[in-house]
Structure 1
């Protein structure tokens, strides 16, 4: 086997199919998008080569694009600072729930397995200004003054959308931390307790440091999910009102296919790929240490 793998021709034959598939399925489409991004093509008919005009327009004068990127960063911040700490606390609770462990684990994961279409439309109904459950509940408890047009108010809509996205993804975050907790040997808990560590010190000094590899995985998944977010936005607000809930994926779709600005949409996609690459490099620098083991 060693002799076979040391043959360069054999290595090339083994690698070539995967490399060709990668070039055809990834590199070639990106290159074509970069080219079409330098045209004024509307998806059909003739087009003209306009150089870097689309890219300059996006980076210097397209406020909707920057708002879309800002919304993705807001979602990422909310996910890492709110959703994940809560998911970690709940995963600890589930781990010590005894005979109810499976029940709680199932209940918390339900939002993640329901169709995005169903959950998005459900929350649109909840936030409806006239017959929505939220406004009716506020009226029932005497807080009618707090009733809002939740998805129609530019200052509130983005936070409602972020809440729904975090609610949908909460189960996945909890499952990641729950899996990490299950991988920590019980002997470490017992050793820490024998050394006199209290409940708080047990988790801050022993458990959470040992969860670092899983935290890294969770952060990478969160960054990816926040950047490529589209379905929930499209189904709930389609970027409205006034593009305040716009995300890059939805903005790209509307530009290329609804507005028939195919060249401009391709330019957005190329810049989006560059943003993703930058985020990947940044994460690699933050997580430059090797992932340890329990």
Structure 2
């Protein structure tokens, strides 16, 4: 007997939701709004750079071709006369610049070389220490984080005739090595002493860079060298040191920059003295700009600053080419 069975309607599968395709004009409007918001957020930084950066550079470059004392309503254009005076055309300024350039050259050579010679072995030793490495690293980094002015005044007390250096030499029986005038009062020892102070300040950063690079080295390279019979010295000089050359380039460039442009330590500790034995180009630029209020030397200061900038570029280029050739 046949029965009528009501057939249930078949289930309809859900249809995928079709997203409306935006028109090209709507997409363009949306992208334009996003770009406008992006420009709005970066505008303060760009404006600040244009005011404090680009405008200052352009203004200083134009000033290097003029004569001005900071009070005159207008500049007196001199063309390249400022540059020629600094490079030998003036009997007043050329001897000062020549002496300062010689001292700066000694600083540019001495500070990077001594920093690398001290920081790299120090990083090797610190990397081999298994206990208290964080504490030792913090101790060695103290010279960098300490306030510069306070440190410079502390060095003045240490280096004066009755300071700690002379007292220590007298205590260990090396009184003949004392400096009765102080280590900064003797023209023969003032500049080397300032180089030592700058190296003391530069070693912490260089040591930390070397230490970070050492901790990221592939240990299999060192193990392979040791399996081949290389000792500690051979492994350090033939395996580790070549891998540290990129960091060495960075360290040298940082020290060269500080040696050429940094003058705060010279200003506070010696002010270029005794005589002109510690006069450097950065300090002479500061003197021409701010210590001759009524003299029209701001243009000369700007010109000397640009010459210093060009010297930094040349030194950086030579250093980079030399390190590439060595590598």
What range is the shorter-chain TM-score in? 0.7 to 0.9
Q: How does 1:222-261 map to 2 (within 5 A)?
A: 222-260=255-293, 261=297
Q: 1:243 to 1:86 in 2, by over 3 A?
A: same
Moved more, 279-288 or 147-156: 279-288
- Between 82-91 and 31-40, report the one with greater CA deviation: 31-40
Displacement of 1:140: 2.8
Distance 1:288 1:143 in 2: 44
Aligned residues: 280
- Is the CA contact 1:30–1:270 (under 8 Å) kept in the aligned structure 2? no
Task: Measure, in 2, the Cα distance between the counterparts of 1:81 and 1:280.
Answer: 14
Within 5 A, what are the aligned runs for 1:37-186?
37-46=64-73, 47-60=75-88, 61=90, 62-129=94-161, 131-148=162-179, 149=181, 150-186=183-219
Q: Name the counterpart of 2:10.
A: none
Q: TM-score, normalised by structure 2?
A: 0.77
Offset of 1:122 from its aligned partner? Answer: 0.7
Residue correspondence of structure 1 range 272-283 to structure 2 within 5 A: 272-283=308-319
- Specify the SS of the correspondent of 1:98: coil
Alpha-carbon distance between aligned partners in 2 of 1:75 and 1:91, rounded to the nearest angstrom: 23
Shift of 1:39: 2.5
Gaps of 5+ in 1: 5-9
Asked if the contact 1:229/1:247 (under 8 Å) is kept, the reply is: no
Let me know the Cα RMSD of the aligned residues. Answer: 2.7
Question: What's the TM-score once normalised by structure 1's chain length?
Answer: 0.85
* 1:30 corresponds to: 57
The alpha-carbon deviation at position 246 of structure 1 amounts to 1.6
Map 1:12-27; keep pairs closer than 5 Å: 25-27=52-54
SS in 2 for 1:156: helix
Distance 1:89 1:285 in 2: 25
Q: Sort the Cα spacing of 1:139 and 1:284 in 2 relative to 1 into closer, same or farther, 3 A.
A: closer
CA contact 2:273–2:279 (8 Å) conserved in 1: yes
Between stretches 30-39 and 204-213, larger displacement belongs to: 30-39
* Residues in 1 aligned to 2:126 and 2:157: alpha-carbon distance in whole angstroms: 31
Larger RCO (alpha carbons 8 Å, 6+ apart): 1
